[in-house]
Amino acid sequence: MKIKINRSLFSFCIPFFIAIPGFAQDSTKKKADSTSTINEVQELNTVQITGKKPLVTQKNGTTTLHVSNSSVSSSSSALEILSKAPGVHVERDGSISLNGKRGVTVLIDGKPTYLSTEQVRNLLSATNGISIEAIELIGSPSSKYEASGAGGLINIRLKKNEDYGTNGNLTAVGGYGNYFKRNASLLINHRSSKFHFFGQYSFENLKENEILNLSRSNNNGNEQTFFRQSGTDLYAKESHNLKAGLDYNLTNKTVLGFVTTGFTNKNTINTDNLTLIGQQPILPDSSIYSISNGDSRYKSLGYNLNLRSKIDTSGQELNADLDYSRFTSANTFIYNNIFYNSSGQIFKPALLFKNQTPSQIDIWAAKIDYSRQLTEGIKLESGFKSSYVKTENAFAYLNNNATGFIKDIGKSNEFSYREAIQAAYSELSVQKYGLNIQAGLRAELTASKGISPGQDNTVKRTYLDFFPHISINRELSPADEISFSYSRRIDRPDYQSLNPFSYFADLFTYSVGNPFLNPQYTSAFELSYNLKKIGNVSLGYSRTRDVITTTLITDTVKKTLYIKDQNLAREQTINLVFAVPVTFASWWQSTNNLTVYRNKYQTSNLMGLPYSAGQLTYLLNTTQTLQVGKLVDTEIAFDYQSPQIYGTYAVKPLYGMDLGLSKNILGKQLTIKASATDLFNTRKARISSAIPSQDYQLTQKSESRVFKLSMTYNFGKKTVKQNDDKSGSNDTEKSRVKATH
């Protein structure tokens, strides 16, 4: 369905805006409550706890995790919460799949993070659970959402307080695993009849370690070489997050708002790595001891100007956003390699070199959305978005000599990337006769250009894509309903995945970019049946072509192992999801989710041979919530991931148990929570190659068992319900910014 063109999209967009004032008139007056009738959603499959919200709810294909109600999750990072969420799998590089489908876009307050896979991982690990209200898992987004996110969307809703007067809360967390951790956050709100100010600040300071072991063999003709690598990474992280905004009520129906967001992250990484090399697995004839020290700094700053207007009481609304964001990173890593023979003696000079990788990404975006009630039960939404992205990257390789570090021009490079996307959508919602139907179409025109002068590479693309979506929900009885959805979506490569630079972990393992990556396209179907008193079951199927896959490839000539994103031919996934809440007693409730899926990857040429792999996999999440009298709430959570195939990785089982306690005192003004994640220290990643011709086994053990104590103090008064979340126009572009190391 991709069409290569060079003409403007504006002529194509005209039909999308027939419903906008000036193109059509509102010929029928509606009652004031007609919009709320259409927008009303019915809560399904909730576990009700007296005086508390449920931990998990489901509404029309969206699963919501109420993080603020969990004593375990609210003391964890967003990354840790997601890694144990129903149907979610988080790879060691930070890539996320939902119900077996790859290519998930992460949003924060309805706005994609504008970051790459690695930087999303860093951001989520630095986002405190204490600042999160809920996490929404959206398997089949409608046409008004960006078309990116072939596997669905994950929206992280941060806590907000929009009550009249001045109020807020202050939270402090301390923890210990192998090292101390601490974080804190302040949420403050002031609202009057005309103005509303809101702000949130959080910081985190921690130290953690990770142990990695890699065993592999390299076959090159008649020569076989064995490598055994063992290393320890020690991370010291300091991060600061800020969000502040001001709303001004121009009229009682129109609000003008301004929001600024900022994030800084400073990491220092110290790595010790020993590589044993030999012609036999247990008898090395040489070894390399590597010490690397790195300093990684990342900053982002964004501005959003927004207008929200309810034009009349018949349901007409107009929303507009202007956004600008800048992301900068500066990474410096020094590698020192010492070479030993079989007797443990140094046999050649040490190799000392440095990598510097500064990067800057600028994003401009604007969008407008309009909705109106056509007749009772029928609503039309239309919108347009324009975005432009500019990235500048440099890679400097510096050799060490008697005078210091000297730049090696032959190994250094630069990369720049430009991308413009014009998008338009229209969606019709019909709610009549027990049916709720949404049908929409989104069109996106993309023009991109990547330039790498050092390698004399220039890649230009222009293409137009159409993304239909339809969902049908039928209420069979007051207790049961059935729904069906179809959507077509896209995942464009991370900006830095297109970057041809090479980044070293050590002399024998590195990662390299791929400027020739194509976007991947996914068509997905889902059928869901809900029994409100029993649970929910859904059956899904998706097919992805040109699937972007992170591959771990052996270069048998150089005897190296390198990571590279590549387009495999296709991936097929079929999944079956069960969500079953159980109430054992008034004081004991349980939420249980089982996801069973089978995926299959296929390509005609990988390492010179056809590749086909897949496996039946299941993910189990169960949480027991117990209320011990009126004193303490107890939460016990267990998750299990069976063996699975993930691209070219064969992943072994992963499981763990968490425990949490919470207590409200001082009239619920002060909340104290204690938690233990990975109580029995069982979460360890174990990976081998799914490619028959490759031989490697990787184990990775991070500092997963952590004990934490948190205290939250609420101040001020609460008299008014919260407003809707605010999101900007450069959402999707942020989700594709990738870290340079």
Average pLDDT over residues 432-456: 88
Q: How far apart are CA 512 and CA 499, in angstroms?
A: 8
Q: How far apart are CA 336 and CA 355, in angstroms?
A: 12
Q: Is the pTM of this model over 0.85?
A: no
Please, which residues have CB within 8 angstroms of residue 705's CB and are 6 or more apart in sequence?
Answer: 177, 676, 677, 678, 679, 680, 681
Is the domain spanning 10-734 CATH 2.40.10.220? The answer is: no
State the virtual CA torsion across 661, 665, 671, 674 in degrees, nearest 10.
-30
**Is the pLDDT confidence value at 161 over 70?**
no
CA–CA distance from 593 to each of 84, 281, 663 (Å)?
A: 11, 43, 27
**Residue ranges with strand state E in 433-508:** 435-452, 457-475, 480-491, 502-506
**Is the pLDDT confidence value at 388 over 70?**
yes
Instruction: Please give the helix or strand (H or E) that residue 382 lies within, else none.
Output: strand 378-401
Average pLDDT over residues 522-537: 86
3-state SS class at 609: strand
Q: Which two tokens stand for residue 594?
A: 């089982």
Q: How far apart are CA 461 and CA 117, in angstroms?
A: 23
pLDDT of res. 212: 94
What's the half-sphere exposure (Cβ side, CA atoms, 13 Å) at 491?
31
pLDDT of res. 647: 85
Q: How far apart are CA 115 and CA 693, in angstroms?
A: 34
Pairing, β 644-646 against β 632-641:
unpaired
Other CB atoms within a 10 A radius of the CB of residue 63 amount to 25
Query: Quick one: pLDDT band at residue 454, thresholds 50, 70, 90?
Result: low
Q: Which of 37, 87, 81 is nearest to 62 (CA)?
A: 87
First to last CA, the chain: 35
**Is the pLDDT confidence value at 594 over 50?**
yes
> 456: burial class by Cβ within 10 Å (0-12, 13-18, 19+)?
exposed
CA–CA distance from 573 to each of 85, 252, 690 (Å)?
A: 19, 49, 17
- Summarised one tens digit per residue, pLDDT across range 665-690 is 887 788 888 999 999 999 999 999 99
| Least confident stretch, 4-18, 375-389, 469-483, 639-653 | 4-18
Place of tokens 């763990």: 656
Domain spans, the chain = 10-734
Q: What DSSP letter does each residue of 211-254 carry, written as one string?
A: EEEEEEEEEETTEEEEEEEEEEEEEEEEEEEEEEEEEEESSSSE
pLDDT of res. 164: 80
- How far is C-alpha 704 from the chain's CA centre? 20
